[in-house]
A and B are shown apart, each in its own frame.
Chain A
Amino acid sequence: MSRYFADRAAKRLVFILGVSAFLILVLIAVFIFREGVPAFQELGFSLFGTKWYPSRDAFGILTMLVGSVVVTLLALALAIPLALGCAIFLAEVAPSRIRQLTRPAVELLVGIPSVVYGLVGLVVLAPLIADISGQGSGSSVLAAGIVLAIMVLPTVTSISEESLRAVPPQYKEAALAMGATQWQTIRCVLLPTARSGIIAAVILGTGRAIGETMAMVMVIGNSPIFPDSIFSPARTLTGNIALEIGHATGTHESALFATGAVLFVLVMLINSIGLVVHRRMAR
């Protein structure tokens, strides 16, 4: 009868593992929000103020929220056209030999640690920007935006390429047979058919960009101020947590958890938008 015992034991074990994995994940979410509550109770809406001076008990995270959003938008503005062009290139235009070389390369680049991108930004890009703008070290919103754009480029490219490839070849042939040029075929047939996959790619890239931490700390300058130009330094929500959690106590610590909660909500928001758009498209 031992195999029946093993069967029952295995069933119980994997159930316990499954539920505990779930509980750990729930615990994380609940914990982040719960620890942020004191800051909210104490500071109220001034938590969303513009002044972050922990030594003077001012914990406004709006500056960092703006920093994160601005850098992300800049990165997307730079990355999306390039990624789309590159995806079309790989899916439709490139000779198959180039394609065979670039696809694995793009996949490799998805896995490269973010600190490596940050490092190159710090060593190459920042001095260049300092030269152009003539001020500071070059650590700036622009440097962060470019680094982030390069980081999300492989992700957005490879997923967009996949969805372009998933379009049935008959669609393309039908358009070409009607005398459309290749570009007209791509614009009027391929892109509309693949759009929900492309949007998913962009959403995923956005989530990555908002969450990126160390590479941002390396190139954005980290001053908790409103950026007034793309050459000005700023600070992201993620960087704020990384830089200060080690020495924060009391309200300061709670304010950092509130920062984490805001990040959490931001990512949820982005993902739900993705989901809604995806459902619309599916109809």
Chain B
Amino acid sequence: MRLSPKLTQRIAWGFIWAAGISAVVILLLIVVYVIARGLPVFGSEFFFSEPKGGISGEGGISSVFVSTIWLIATTMVILIPLGIGAAIYLAEYAPDNWLTRLIRYGVELLAGVPSIVFGLFGFAIFVMALNFSYSILAGALTLACLLLPFLIRSAEEAMKVVPRSYREAALALGATKWQMTKSVVLPAAIPGIITGIILCVGGVVAESACLYVTMGGSAGMPTSFFDGGRSLAVHVFYLAMETNALDKALATGAVLIVLILIINLITRWLAWRFRARMEGKA
């Protein structure tokens, strides 16, 4: 029996509505669940004390939070000059030749490699060979490698959309190439570049696998970037796998969700500013 078009339309519509609603509901339920179970744990003890270890998972997340901040700062100090510099080279200076194509291909290739593979590399080079042992520095160096392809691509993209007419106008006024890049291209591209950087911060916050094998599990308050530490995401893993304090794990997860939400809002706002500036409204 062949179904009439009208009937298939009804069935298909039913499925599409069900899929749309259920996907959104499942995803929102997860967020709501984590926040609802985490919220009661929030309080000064949770935010301002260090994890005390042990199977019961006593204590809070203060040192973990500080380690995360250290990790973000160290990663960015390594990542930003390298990533932005490489992006400027590719967007403005690179001639159209085999070397450039090779660099682009390499960046493209590494962008999809799983983070644990970067972790493996970071463990062997930074933790073992260079003897940084499990430390924030080793974690940051590994993360910088992991995020490098993404930052290069997004910064290059931001510079590529700056109209060619701006570049021509600057050159025709007698600007050197670097003056053109510095005074015209970079200012126009900066909201896009900052969006890329902030997404990298989000990547640092969310990443766990490659940190688990390079930063170790020490839960103490870091005093320098040669100390080991746990980021919030790694802390969630430890709490879930090695303690009974699932509520604390969920509360830490809730903190992560809030951080990601803030990062998301900032990038939205920046993207809006970027468009406004390109259209002359800012």
Instruction: Determine direct contact between A and B, CB below 8 Å.
Output: yes
Q: Which residues of A contact B (CB under 8 A)?
A: 3-4, 6-7, 10-11, 13-22, 24-26, 28-29, 31-32, 35, 81-86, 88-90, 93-94, 102, 104-109, 111-120, 122-124, 150, 153-154, 157, 180-184, 186-187, 207, 210-214, 217-218, 238, 241-242, 245-246, 256-257, 260, 263-264, 267-268, 270-271
Contact of A21 among B82, B92, B207, B236 (CB under 8 A): B82
Of the A-B pairs whose beta carbons lie under 8 Å apart in the complex, a sample of 6, sorted by A's number, is A14-B92, A17-B82, A25-B106, A105-B28, A150-B26, A256-B120
Contact of A214 among B28, B103, B113, B208 (CB under 8 A): B208
Is there contact, CB below 8 Å, between A18 and B179? no
Is there contact, CB below 8 Å, between B26 and A115? no
Given contacts A111-B264, A114-B206, contact A211 B113 (CB under 8 A): yes
Nearest A residue to B88 by beta-carbon distance?
Answer: A14
Is there contact, CB below 8 Å, between B206 and A113? yes
CA of A108 to CA of B268, assembled, Å: 11
Given contacts A6-B176, A13-B85, A115-B237, contact A213 B114 (CB under 8 A): yes
Nearest B residue to A14 by beta-carbon distance?
Answer: B89
Is there contact, CB below 8 Å, between A102 and B250? no
Given contacts A7-B176, A112-B206, contact A17 B86 (CB under 8 A): yes
Is there contact, CB below 8 Å, between A85 and B19? yes
Contact of A93 among B13, B85, B124, B148 (CB under 8 A): B13
Given contacts A93-B16, A263-B114, A271-B112, contact A14 B85 (CB under 8 A): yes
Which residues of B105-131 have CB atoms within 8 Å of chain A's CB atoms? 106-107, 109-110, 112-121, 123-125
**Which residues of B sit under 8 angstroms from A256, Cβ to Cβ?**
120
Is there contact, CB below 8 Å, between B23 and A83? yes
**Which residues of B sit under 8 angstroms from A270, Cβ to Cβ?**
112
CA of A88 to CA of B107, assembled, Å: 33
**Residue of A10, A113, A184 ringed by the most chain B CB atoms within 10 A:** A113
Is there contact, CB below 8 Å, between B116 and A213? yes
Query: Mask for B189-210, Cβ within 8 A of A = 1, else 0?
Result: 0000000000000100111110
Query: What size tier do the contact residues of chain B reach?
Result: 35 or more
Given contacts A18-B86, A114-B208, A119-B249, contact A85 B236 (CB under 8 A): no
Q: What's the minimum C-beta distance from B226 to chain A, rounded to whole angstroms? A: 18
**Residue of B13, B112, B181, B263 ringed by the most chain A CB atoms within 10 A:** B112
Is there contact, CB below 8 Å, between A260 and B106? no
B9 within 8 A of A: yes
Is there contact, CB below 8 Å, between A263 and B23? no
Task: Tell me which of B29-37, B39-47, B48-56, B59-67 binds A.
Answer: B29-37
Contact of B260 among A4, A112, A242 (CB under 8 A): A112
CA of A90 to CA of B209, assembled, Å: 33
Q: Which residues of B contact A (CB under 8 A)?
A: 5-6, 8-9, 12-13, 15-24, 26-28, 30-31, 33-34, 81-83, 85-86, 88-90, 92-94, 102-103, 106-107, 109-110, 112-121, 123-125, 145, 148-149, 152, 176-179, 181-182, 202, 205-209, 212-213, 233-234, 236-237, 240-241, 246, 249-250, 253, 256-257, 260-261, 263-264, 268
Is there contact, CB below 8 Å, between B16 and A88? yes
Contact of A18 among B6, B94, B261 (CB under 8 A): B94
**Which residues of A sit under 8 angstroms from B256, Cβ to Cβ?**
112-113, 115-116
CA of A85 to CA of B24, assembled, Å: 11
Is there contact, CB below 8 Å, between B22 and A241? no
Is there contact, CB below 8 Å, between A22 and B19? no
Q: What's the minimum C-beta distance from A217 to chain B, rounded to whole angstroms? A: 8
Given contacts A245-B123, A263-B116, contact A119 B23 (CB under 8 A): no
* Other A-B pairs, 8, CB within 8 Å; known A28-B145, A241-B120: A14-B92, A21-B148, A107-B264, A113-B253, A115-B208, A120-B33, A241-B119, A241-B213
CA of A257 to CA of B28, assembled, Å: 38
Is there contact, CB below 8 Å, between B121 and A3? no
**Which residues of B sit under 8 angstroms from A117, Cβ to Cβ?**
30
Q: What's the minimum C-beta distance from B193 to chain A, rounded to whole angstroms? A: 14
CA of A224 to CA of B231, assembled, Å: 28
**Which residues of B sit under 8 angstroms from A186, Cβ to Cβ?**
12
Q: Kindly list the 5 A-B residue pairs having the minimum CB-CB distance in the complex, ordered from nearest.
A: A85-B19, A89-B20, A211-B114, A17-B85, A18-B89
